[in-house]
């Protein structure tokens, strides 16, 4: 199955520059990995690409959590738990599903988590700055 590449719009912006830059790169990474998987039959290479994405997601979550902590974001514990849950689902999807389902999972994850949960952090940041 071929997915439509993700395209950055202002809907994804939190207003926190560091988070927005990371989200933009994350979207680019998802698109690049999808393209590479579609063009290559090398399963070892596919695994390396997916490992790259998992490691970036982990980095991004820690960075975002540090920002939430610094801001004193009141819902940060719940947000941390969402991140842990998303990483668990990502690991499960990586092991259990085909690359196509994995990419679909990533699209849904990025689109929904970014425009719902992460935007709340941006709204809060504007109230304390």
Does some domain include residue 31?
A: yes
d(CA 79, CA 103): 23
The count of domains in the chain is 1
Q: What is the pLDDT of residues 62-103, one digit of tens each?
A: 999 999 999 999 999 999 999 998 888 878 777 765 667 777
Confidence of residue 106 (pLDDT cuts 50, 70, 90): confident
Does some domain include residue 5?
A: no
- DSSP-derived secondary structure letter, 12: G
**pTM of the predicted model, to two decimals?**
0.89
Whether the predicted pLDDT of 20 surpasses 80: yes
Range of the domain at 21: 16-128
Q: Which two tokens stand for residue 74?
A: 């009141």
Does some domain include residue 4?
A: no
Angle among Cα 127, 21, 56 to the nearest 5 degrees reads: 115
Output the pLDDT for position 49. Answer: 87
Does some domain include residue 23?
A: yes
Q: Are 83 and 61 in contact (CB under 8 A)?
A: yes
Does some domain include residue 92?
A: yes
**Token pair 């809907």 is at which residue?**
11
């Amino acid at each position: 199955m071929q997915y439509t590449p993700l395209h950055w719009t202002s809907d994804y912006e939190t207003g926190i520059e560091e988070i927005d830059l990371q989200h933009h790169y994350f979207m680019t990474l998802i698109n690049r990995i999808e393209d590479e998987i579609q063009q290559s039959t090398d399963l070892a290479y596919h695994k390396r690409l997916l490992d790259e994405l998992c490691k970036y997601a982990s980095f991004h979550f820690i960075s975002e959590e540090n920002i939430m902590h610094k801001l004193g974001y009141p819902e940060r514990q719940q947000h941390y738990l969402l991140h842990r849950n998303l990483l668990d689902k990502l690991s499960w999807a990586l092991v259990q599903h085909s690359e196509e389902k994995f990419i679909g999972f990533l699209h849904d994850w990025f689109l929904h988590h970014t425009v719902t949960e992460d935007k709340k952090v941006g709204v809060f940041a504007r109230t304390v700055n």
